[in-house]
A and B are shown apart, each in its own frame.
Chain A
Amino acid sequence: MTATQTPPARAPRRGLPSMTVLGPILALLVLLAIGMFLNENFLSHANITNVLARSAFIGIIAVGMTFVITAGGLDLSVGSMAAFIAGLMILVMNAALPALGIGVPIILLGMATAVAAGLAAGFLNGILITSLGIEAFIVTLGSMGIYRSLVTWLADGGTLSLDFGLRTFYRPVYYDGILGIGWPIIVFAVVVILGEIAMRSAVFGRHCAAIGSNDQVARYSSINVNRVRLMTYVFLGLLVGVATIMYVPRLGSASASTGLLWELEAIAAVIIGGTVLKGGFGRVWGTVIGVLILSLIGNILNLTDLVSPYLNGAIQGAIIILAVILQREGRAGG
């Protein structure tokens, strides 16, 4: 039965790629064309590097978010979590400065703190959602408020700044790289490649999709649903930690306004890229395109004077909705 039904269902996909695949790519190409047309510096090495490097934070987080959403979950706490981890990292590094001095060990200590805090924060979210069975929306809405308050409290309402000498030493992690490609871009690329492999070829990705489309069926297929869900949140927490490691050397500070609205940008990027918000289907490379689209809109609006800056948000919103409409029409037609 199944064997005879499968080929006709797959046949159209082998012809032309459907709009769900083409939509985000087309949107990105259109944006690139507009950018090139409006400003000759748009394709300069410096501008491209800037855009890619600033996309890296949201991008690294959005890769983790792709798995969470694919498995039918959601995480609203990532922006606050990044701010909290950044604050914690700065405090730990400043506190260890007299003992360790400026050097590689203290940077490694800071990185270990970020990774450990990210794993712990992700685990906490995940365990509350899976073991206690509370809605992901509610748990992460709560933890979003908690982390945001904690960083404000740690900073005493002001700004936490990394010791100046330490910052100078740590700075190359954001600004330098290999062969003119910055470290944030390299780390982002590695995370994307690993994520793409995990989503497409590993058992983990298939389990996420199965749970997202129907967790009952997944359970009967002997998938450990709670464990896989928990893993998606832990994985996301880890990536928030990694993103923070790249973020702190940029300005060397954290405050209550760090990472504001990152969660919504990450979720928007995931959805623009073609992952289904209800879960069941995820696409890591699509998420990358979504992140680039969002960054490019801001970049192009800054490079031109076409639109009043008051309307930046409106244009971003319109493009997000357009990108998703394009995909829906493609789905209805194909």
Chain B
Amino acid sequence: MKHLMTGLALGALLAATPALAQDTKVIGVSIPAATHGWAGGMNYFAQEAVERLEATYENLDFVLATASDPAKQVSDIEDMLATRNIDALVVLPFESEPLTGPVQGVAESGAWVTVVDRGLSQEGIEDLYVAGDNPGFGRVSGEYMASKLPDGGKIVVLRGIPTTIDNERVEGFQAATEGTGIEILAMEHGNWNRDDSFTVMQDFLSKYPEIDAVWASDDDMAIGVLAAIEASGREDIQFVLGGAGMKEMVKRTMDGDAMIPANVTYPPSMIATAIEITAVGLVSNAPVSGEFIIGSVLVTPENAGQYYFPDSPF
């Protein structure tokens, strides 16, 4: 009797497994851990998208892994492929070079690959590429700066961590301000960090007796810059332009703070866009391969309400 029962159960299990594998598709999501504000927001939006999609589609299953360094991310992806047999991978690479090989391995296994924000070092691996527009981020910032200072002016620029992202943004900004009468007094790396940008701004204030505006290029850096200006008691700086749309800063723009008249988005929620589109591709016959570039939008007091997410950590 006992044997019969086990046999039956085994039979039922064997019959059930292939059916289950056919119905349920697994999407692996691999992203860097929340090491700074923007990444924290990205983690929040990834988790939110996964929860929402799991509730919407019964036949989709998600594996979410956050990595604190590229090596850990490589292991995560290898584990997903080996133990969960993923049908699709959504990956925001920590660094392009070390992740290219492992992601190529996933693509060769036949799984769908979506790459987010940072491209791989070899073209043609991914089925879908979702990214922000870094040159556009710089261009929109530069154009705003030029429109706000129609008669020209002296500005200082805080740059991020030395990376391709930062270079593309600064080049876009320089191209947009060229020939407008805006003079860039100096550029220095504030490393997307409040403390570093505070220090750099203090030294800019000592060095230049007159500064009309600051392109902080990031909201974390804008906070450091604002604190340094406030402490110096200087009145010559008309405004500070940050970027990336941190909720506290968007709120201040919304409330009409003259020092922070605008913001330029580089939304961490682009990870949610990538997960959504990948899920649509798996459950429907809508074609989703190609590139999806999310534009950087100028946030002003008029439209700030649309870009204010009080629940997000960023």
Contacts and interface: CB of A to CB of B under 8 A. Distances in A.
Interface string A123-161: 000000000000000000000000000001001111101
Contact of B194 (A157, A251, A299): A251
B154 interface: no
Contact of A251 (B36, B43, B198, B205): B198
Contact of A256 (B36, B202, B231): B36
Given A157-B40, A158-B41, A255-B37, A46 B206 contact: yes
A325 B198 CA distance: 33
B313 A303 contact: no
Interface in A251-275: 251, 253, 255-258, 260
- Main DSSP-derived SS at the B contact region: helix
A309 B227 contact: no
Given A152-B35, A250-B198, A158 B40 contact: yes
Contacts of B36: 255-257
B188 to A, nearest CB: 5
A179 B33 CA distance: 46
A156 B186 contact: no
Given A156-B40, A158-B40, A256-B36, A251 B248 contact: no
A41 B224 CA distance: 22
Given A41-B207, A158-B37, A161-B248, A50 B202 contact: yes
B137 to A, nearest CB: 20
Contacts of A46: 205-206, 232
Interface in A201-260: 250-251, 253, 255-258, 260
A308 to B, nearest CB: 10
Nearest to B66: A157
Contacts of B220: 159, 255
A330 interface: no
B314 interface: yes
Contacts of B239: none
A54 interface: yes
A41 B203 CA distance: 10
B42 to A, nearest CB: 9
A250 B248 CA distance: 17
Interface in A34-74: 39, 41-42, 44, 46-47, 50, 54
Contact of B188 (A39, A50, A256, A302): A302
A146 B247 CA distance: 28
Given A158-B37, A302-B207, A309 B188 contact: yes
A44 B199 CA distance: 16
A223 to B, nearest CB: 40
Nearest to B191: A257
Contact of A257 (B35, B186, B227): B35
Interface string A67-85: 0000000000000000000
A157 B203 contact: no
A236 B232 CA distance: 32
A97 to B, nearest CB: 17
A54 B40 contact: no
Given A156-B40, A159-B37, A251-B194, A44 B188 contact: no
A46 B205 CA distance: 9
A294 B224 CA distance: 21
Contacts of B206: 39, 41-42, 44, 46-47, 50, 303
Interface string A152-175: 100111110100000000000001
B223 to A, nearest CB: 6
23 contacts: A41-B207, A42-B206, A46-B232, A155-B313, A157-B34, A157-B37, A157-B40, A158-B34, A158-B37, A159-B220, A161-B248, A175-B231, A250-B198, A253-B194, A256-B40, A258-B195, A299-B203, A302-B188, A302-B199, A302-B200, A305-B186, A310-B162, A312-B189
10 nearest CB pairs, A to B: A157-B34, A157-B40, A158-B313, A302-B203, A158-B40, A47-B206, A50-B202, A156-B313, A41-B206, A303-B207
